[in-house]
Amino acid sequence: MDAQDKKIATDLAYEIIKDVSRATRPYFGTPEAGAKVKIGADGTPTSYIDIVAEEIVIHILKEAPVYSYIISEEIGELRLGKGTKRSITLTEELRRDDIPEDEKPKFIFLVDPIDGTTNAIKEIPAFGISIAVASVPDGRLATLDDVELAFLSNLANGNFFEAEKGRGCWLNNEQVQPSDIVNISNMTLGGFTKSSTIEASKLVDNARRMRVLGSVVLELSYVASGRYDAFLDLRGSRIIDIAGAKLIVEEAGAIVTDKYGEKLNNKLSIHERAIVVAANNQVLHSQLIDILNDNQTDLIAKIGVISRIDQNRSILFSAKIIDYLLRNGRDVIIEKRLAHKLSELKQNPDLEDAIAKTRKKHPQMAHLLEDINFNIDYDALSCAIFDFECDMAIILGGDGTLLRAESKMKPEIPIFGINMGTVGFLTDTEVQDTFTSLDEILKGSYYREKRSRLVVSHENNNYSAVNEVVIMTDQPAKMLHFEIKVDGEIIEQVRADGLIISTPSGSTAYAMSAGGPIVDPKVGGFIIIPICPYKLGARPFIVSDNSEITVKLLKKGKSAVFVMDGQRSEEARYEEEIKFKKSEKDVYFIRTSTKYFYKKVKDKLNEGGLNETPRCNNE
């Protein structure tokens, strides 16, 4: 968004705020304002005063000299401008490649015409209009990172916040900054909790003051100006409510994340929500995050399902799980390839025979494949794995399936693995225990296990791995010559068939087979293991995961491939460096027992990864 575009967007925002303020003022505190007119696009009741405000917003953007998209609380998602108005689905619209250049919208407006409607109806002076303006990305979904301008006006008293990405934040034309409070016992906390949230109660009990004003946009912005020291909404705020306030808070120098301290970068959509934790500084924010994650679990409301699709038993079992989740009131999304396979099975006239054949081949799970409900529109629930937005992803398969799926999903999505492979060390449960485990998870009896991942850097490209990176020659029985540095210090020069850089998670995989130690995932380290080294004293190293590991090929004319988690391979040549360090993004697993790791070692590895009960051949 260049300077001219920012001026156009700013002028439109100013006009909207001025006209909405003038038009709604006569209704503040009147019975007419609170009359329920309809259910808005976001699923909440719409009052008459909301309609008055939104009609002004729509009119101004419709008659504007540029095209814009708008996401608004009551009317949903529209394309407006140059006298036109059309309903759209923004995520679909942004993927289009057939829009003429002169018809492409310039902006995405996220507008809550009146946040705190009940306050306006009852004339409690805490309600306002929020406008965030995002640039329109090219060929991808828009996210909170695309928001460049924010405007927020308290319609009750005229206080006006404004922020520009990278430029700062102002309140009534004066730059603001957050407070310097660092102790929870001294903080003023605002926000909304939810029932049975013990850790939130701890925060409320220990805070000096607690405020609940009934307007997310105003209260979140108060962190920017020091009126609040912290704010949280554990119910899940709508993206249209927080898009502008988030930019205001961040431009003031404060911090806004999700409950786990991860950056908020949700897609821009009328249906999108996010749990919000904001604080004036990193010290106070870290304390909030630590308290909120002490033995606390979230309601698992939306679940993604991914499965290997090379065997009928996995596909059929996924259908059983999807039906179970829907019957238990959960929202479900299905990975596209799996949804396609399920739809094919559903239409197959020999479906009953296929189920009977699968049950006969796999008698140990025959009872789990009884009474499968195929009366589900799988295509309507399908979603590309890259676009998954859910509280948990269920993955049916072995460790390979899990690692492939994890590499394509957003890193903050926790994974629950059901073992339908050979070893399944990273999975949480076996097939026969699936529904017992899911019953516990849906009741909230689970915990999130955090594990480190590697970032691999080579020739200005970055890759990631959960288990390990293997460096080897692409010519069998040929050796490579490696120089290995840790934080710039050479720790080894060795000729070997290859080299493994492993996380603790990968210590039970290829690293173990190559003679490396088994490392508890809670250990903060990485393992360096030469494969078949031609050197008597070459031994595995365990180094701190705060270190940077550098590997360089020393022999001229030799090249190598490095493979991430057995999924993706890249080539490295003579004297090129491959760097390894800990990723800022961890991977999370949903576990139903705290006694996970050592039990897995005992159960899975004593017999070389083979179950005592022989498996049937795949279809």
CATH number of the domain bearing residue 477: 2.60.200.30
The type of residue at 163 is A
The active-site residue, picked from 399, 428, 545, 565, is 399
Contact between 468 and 455 (Cβ < 8 Å): no
Are residue 341 and residue 203 in the same domain, yes or no? Answer: no
The answer on 433 and 574 residing in a single domain is no
Tell me the average pLDDT across 557-580.
Answer: 90
pLDDT at 75 over 90: no
Identify whether 568 is part of a domain. Answer: yes
- My answer on whether 100 and 153 are in the same domain is yes
pLDDT band at 11 (very low <50, low <70, confident <90, very high): very high
- Backbone dihedral angles phi then psi of residue 513, each to the nearest 5 degrees: -65, -30
In a domain, 618, yes or no: no
Q: What is the structure's pLDDT at 616?
A: 39
Q: Is 41 helix (H, G, I), strand (E, B) or coil?
A: coil
pTM of the model: 0.52
pLDDT averaged over the chain? 88
Domain final residue, candidates 292, 310, 336: 292
Averaged pLDDT for residues 113-134: 91
Say which CATH number the domain at 15 has. Answer: 3.30.540.10
* Residue 198 belongs to domain spanning: 184-292
Q: What is the pLDDT of residues 328-378, one digit of tens each?
A: 889 999 999 999 999 999 999 999 999 999 999 999 889 999 889 999 999
pLDDT at 295: 42
- The answer as to whether 241 is a domain residue is yes
**208: CATH:** 3.40.190.80
Residue 469 sits in the same domain as residue 360: no
Query: Between 290 and 246, whose confidence is greater?
Result: 246
pLDDT at 614 over 60: no
What's the angle, vertex CA 592, arms to CA 586 and CA 598, rounded to 5?
75
The C-alpha R_g of the chain, in whole angstroms, comes to 27
Q: What's the confidence (pLDDT) of residue 612?
A: 43
Same domain, 149 and 43: yes
Tell me, yes or no, whether 614 lies in a domain.
Answer: no
Domain boundary among 175, 193, 217: 175
- Indicate the residue among 175, 196, 227 that finishes a domain: 175
- pLDDT > 90: what percent of the chain? 54
Q: Identify the three-state secondary structure at position 222.
A: helix
Task: Work out the average pLDDT over 523-527.
Answer: 91
Note if 112 is an active site residue.
no
For residue 512, give the nearest of 594, 603, 601, 404 by alpha carbon: 601
Q: Of the candidates 155, 109, 149, 151, which has an alpha carbon nearest to the alpha carbon of residue 128? A: 155
Residue 93 maps to a domain: yes
pLDDT of residue 40: 61
Contact (Cβ atoms closer than 8 angstroms) between residue 212 and residue 180: no
Together in a domain, 94 and 8: yes
On the question of pLDDT at 43 being above 80, the answer is no
Least confident of 277-281, 293-297, 467-471, 509-513: 293-297
Q: Residue for token digits 């859910």?
A: 390
- In the predicted model, what is the mean pLDDT of residues 304-310? 94
36 and 158 fall within a common domain: yes
Task: Tell the burial category of 64 from Cβ atoms under 10 Å away from its Cβ (0-12, 13-18, 19+).
Answer: buried
* Within a domain: 152: yes
Q: Are residues 509 and 579 in the same domain?
A: yes
Domain contains 513: yes
Q: Answer yes or no: do 515 and 535 share one domain.
A: yes
Helix (H, G, I), strand (E, B) or coil at 105: coil
Residues 159 and 251 in one domain: no
Looking at the structure, tell me whether residues 505 and 439 fall in a common domain. no
Domain count, the chain: 4
Cα angle vertex 594, ends 591, 598, to 5°?
A: 100
Mean pLDDT of 372-390: 94
Of 605 and 188, the structure prediction assigns the larger pLDDT to: 188
Q: Tell me, yes or no, whether 258 lies in a domain.
A: yes
Q: Does residue 208 share a domain with residue 310?
A: no
